[in-house]
Structure 1
């Protein structure tokens, strides 16, 4: 049986603390926050927060994009949102998969180059996730028109086609410690 996303979030919280990182508090609710009304207003909230996003602002920019959107979307939803680092299962393969030992090694050595094989998204207290970069990045890498400008915004346990998000760490402290937040500053963050 597959673990629930909420159970994986709790494991990510424990891992974050075990790594000696600052861990944000987790709040939870059973109430769905991604209502039809919110889905309708969502593109405008994103545009108001970061402007119109071109491909260059989305493709391979998950770390900075979701960091920039965290606070404005907290205001939009009226709840604290978790900046979530992890990997994604897109059957039959995994994207951005890092083991706990891989993450710990990176924490000890820091980033060594411009490429960083991790993924980030936002998690609402309802275990709903928001990922504005994966569909477009996937479409560009695979030279597909389907998916460009796409957004994943749904309950993490109810995604289609076997898609599954696996949180590994919570908050931005990991990125600061490995040297990735320095890169964010070049993008105005």
Structure 2
């Protein structure tokens, strides 16, 4: 199954959880290398620490992409990631449903991965290289900004990496009790339905 098809299934799963309609544009948004480098330079969490601060790093980069660099159409996406077919996180769509039902998302951090999906099925992830380098699976030259993140078409990534979205959108983080609604509204400058974190 290709990434866009999996993303559409994740969007359907998000609707089943009572979250808003989420879609990603079919026409690719290709980011300029200067924007990617500038985004990377805004990150304040050292490369090696990113592996254990996935939410802070990838949500922070998503926020900067949308609010500082004004790149439209990105969707914060949650799910699993595989390398050479081996899944890295012990999570299924049922886990996300339970996180919403029990508002246990804060306790479940680290059981799933999150990243930004850009139009056309491009991935932007500032955490996975730190995880894989820490596990000795890839080598990263930390002096090279472009090696500290993963960016490209989801179906053409290096190292046998594949992303498997299961839910999508900021509302999941609110509905699951991971991030307070008022804090999200402050950060993103938009209103979210009162039923989340209300």
Whether the TM-score (by the shorter chain) exceeds 0.5 is: yes
Gapped runs of 5+ residues in structure 2? 143-147, 188-198
Q: Distance in 1 between matches of 2:108 and 2:81?
A: 21
After the TM superposition, which of the residue ranges 17-26 and 164-173 deviates more from structure 2? 17-26
Shift of 1:9: 1.1
Corresponding residue SS for 1:161: helix
Q: Distance in 2 between matches of 1:24 and 1:53?
A: 29
Corresponding residue SS for 2:52: coil
Matching of residue 90 in structure 1 with residue 89 in structure 2: no
Cα gap change, 1:148/1:138 in structure 2, threshold over 3 Å: closer, same or farther?
A: farther
| Counterpart position of 1:133 | 127
| Counterpart position of 2:30 | 33
Shift of 1:97: 3.8
Q: Distance in 2 between matches of 1:67 and 1:115?
A: 13
Corresponding residue SS for 1:175: helix
Corresponding residue SS for 2:110: coil
Cα gap change, 1:26/1:108 in structure 2, threshold over 3 Å: closer, same or farther?
A: same
| Counterpart position of 1:116 | 110
Q: Distance in 2 between matches of 1:146 and 1:14?
A: 36
Q: TM-score if structure 1 supplies the norm length?
A: 0.79
Corresponding residue SS for 2:175: helix
Gapped runs of 5+ residues in structure 1? none
| Counterpart position of 1:163 | 161
Corresponding residue SS for 1:88: strand
Shift of 1:17: 0.4
| Counterpart position of 2:13 | 15
* Alignment deviations for residues 131-150 of structure 1 (CA, whole Å, 9 cap, x no partner): 1001112222x257823642
Q: Distance in 1 between matches of 2:17 and 2:171?
A: 10
Cα gap change, 1:81/1:13 in structure 2, threshold over 3 Å: closer, same or farther?
A: same
Aligned length: 176
Q: TM-score if structure 2 supplies the norm length?
A: 0.76
